[in-house]
Structure 1
Amino acid sequence: MAVRAFAVLALAAILVSTPTAAEEMKTCGSASYFPLEYTCYNNSALCPISFTRPSVSCGAAGCYAPEQFSCEDGTTLKTLPDATSPFTLTAFGNRPGFGNMTVKACGNYLAIGANARECAACSSSAAARPGVSIRCSEYGNRTVLLPGGQMAVDVPGHQYWYVNPRDGVLQFTEALPSNSSLNATSPGTEFAGQNVKVYENGFFMYDRDNLPHFWLACLRTLPGGAIGTGRTWRIYAPISMNIGRGDCEQIKLVATATDRKRGAYRYD
């Protein structure tokens, strides 16, 4: 596992990292390296940086992504546990200014970018059940997801996140009628959480047919916005129809455990 993990990390660094001409090389033992491409550990081990996320040295086990593995006793790699906590998502890319971007939910899509909106909503007149009032002050305005496909919402009928099998875009559903079942009325609920692997405080990965574990952030110009203004980036799985798109950037998505109540009562 250690050798394969290192090989994948190294290949990713080669494919997506480009040294800056003005960047000064440093030494790590007898080796030279660019600090934007590698991290030096104990002046002896060089580990690649991929999507601005440093890999870490685990002695004889080699380099590993801490968003997917842990290092046991400095010799063995262990896969992180599956996520059980509510989580937010953060996107990391290689393009300048394209890292550490919060994933936001609005208009049935999950997106990133300066113009991506977070459409958290609540009405104190709404009721989870007859006779129960809602305290909107108890909710936050962050996009919070649950492992398995649900959004962290309390609206009757729930809401679900899913990868649209038609074009691979990462979406969420509207709230279902309170008497609906998961596979009933809302498009997408039957795909909730499918083909996505989420590690506790680790990667949120598209995990199907041995496809690469990065996602694609694809440019969308909002109505009325010229190029350079009013833009957001929708998130797509790396299925064949998306890989060759020229308007997309490769990103990694990282889940961070959080309090469920940081999320909204519902998302519009």
Structure 2
Amino acid sequence: MATRVFLAAVSLAASFSGVLAEDLEWCGDAQYYPAEYTCFDDSTLCPILFGLPNRPCGGGCYAPEMYQCESGSLSLLPEEDGPFKLTTHSTVTKVSGWELKACGNYLAIGAGARECNSCPEGAACDEYQNETVFLPNGEMAADLPGGQYWYVSPEDGALMFTEGGDEAEAGIALAGQRVEVYSDGFFSYQGSRHYWLACLRRLPGGTVGTTRSYRIHAPTPENLEKEDCSQIKLVASSVADRKHGAYKYD
């Protein structure tokens, strides 16, 4: 039986895509690069996109971070309904495998990204693990009176969080909008694109080789024109308790 290849074809173009050092393998009667495809049952090839393997279902391939396969039919994963953290996935190594960190009202990744939080004297500070944790309704897992909220900035598409208290009003109106969160799956920007951009943050006086951080932006037309931005997928992973978060994100 001829090997089926879905979503992308194994072609000569692959030989110019940075996998020259990788040996071709066989899947049925077709050859493929293991870094770009997964072979199932020696008959079906599914692509690896953003470093995430697709799986076969009903004659096609699907992303298990967005869909589930039952009896050969696909359906969307349920929406996330509890606290979660976010991790990046990308074919660009420098922006892949990082957990998002909250600091200075921005969400960022990289060796230079900081996790900023605080807890006032008299609060039960020992209860918190002080990790960057999100809630599916647009809230941050914070216990500051009035709460804190994550949102996509209407000005530049940056993924941000509110200061809290009286400063939270603008962010509350935008909290969680245009974002879908699937259970242990994609944290997905609505529209034709389901990826995000990790854009290098340039510090005054910074030089090549210094510790770097990347802020997360929605793939708006303006952001797609920027330099030093790499495409990423954000994947939610459930955590047991919102106390994995912080009293306040600074």
User: Normalised by the size of structure 2, how large is the TM-score?
Assistant: 0.90
Is residue 231 of structure 1 aligned with residue 212 of structure 2? Answer: yes
Q: What is the aligned counterpart of 1:66 among 51, 64, 75? A: 64
The C-alpha deviation readout for 1:120-159, integer Å capped at 9, x for no partner, is: 221233xxxxxxxx21010012100001210011110100
Partners of 1:117 and 1:111 in 2: CA distance: 8
Q: Is the 8 A contact 1:218 1:247 kept in 2?
A: yes
Partners of 1:222 and 1:175 in 2: CA distance: 26
Counterpart of 1:266, as a letter, is: K
Counterpart of 2:37, as a letter, is: Y
Q: Is the 8 A contact 1:61 1:76 kept in 2?
A: no
3-state secondary structure, aligned to 2:213: strand
The C-alpha deviation readout for 1:33-68, integer Å capped at 9, x for no partner, is: 00010001111110000010001112x241110100
1:262 alignment counterpart? 244
Partners of 2:202 and 2:155 in 1: CA distance: 21
Counterpart of 2:117, as a letter, is: A
Q: What is the aligned counterpart of 1:149 among 138, 143, 146? A: 138
Q: Is the 8 A contact 1:150 1:161 kept in 2?
A: yes
Percent of aligned positions that are identical: 52
Q: What is the aligned counterpart of 2:121 among 116, 121, 124? A: 124
Instruction: Give 5+ residue unaligned stretches, structure 1.
Output: 1-5, 126-133, 178-183
Structural mapping, 1:42-53, within 5 Å: 42-53=41-52
Partners of 1:61 and 1:193 in 2: CA distance: 35
1:222 deviates by 3.2
Is residue 169 of structure 1 aligned with residue 151 of structure 2? Answer: no
Structural mapping, 1:1-268, within 5 Å: 7=7, 10=8, 18-58=17-57, 60-73=58-71, 75-125=72-122, 134-177=123-166, 186-207=169-190, 210-258=191-239, 259-268=241-250
1:89 deviates by 0.3
User: Normalised by the size of structure 1, how large is the TM-score?
Assistant: 0.85
Structure 1 runs (4+) deviating above 4 angstroms are none
Q: How many residues align?
A: 240
Partners of 1:96 and 1:257 in 2: CA distance: 24
Q: Is the 8 A contact 1:61 1:77 kept in 2?
A: no
The C-alpha deviation readout for 1:18-38, integer Å capped at 9, x for no partner, is: 341111010100110000100
3-state secondary structure, aligned to 2:170: coil
The C-alpha deviation readout for 1:63-84, integer Å capped at 9, x for no partner, is: 11010011102x1111100110
1:185 deviates by 5.7
Partners of 1:200 and 1:185 in 2: CA distance: 27
Q: Is the 8 A contact 2:95 2:230 kept in 1?
A: no
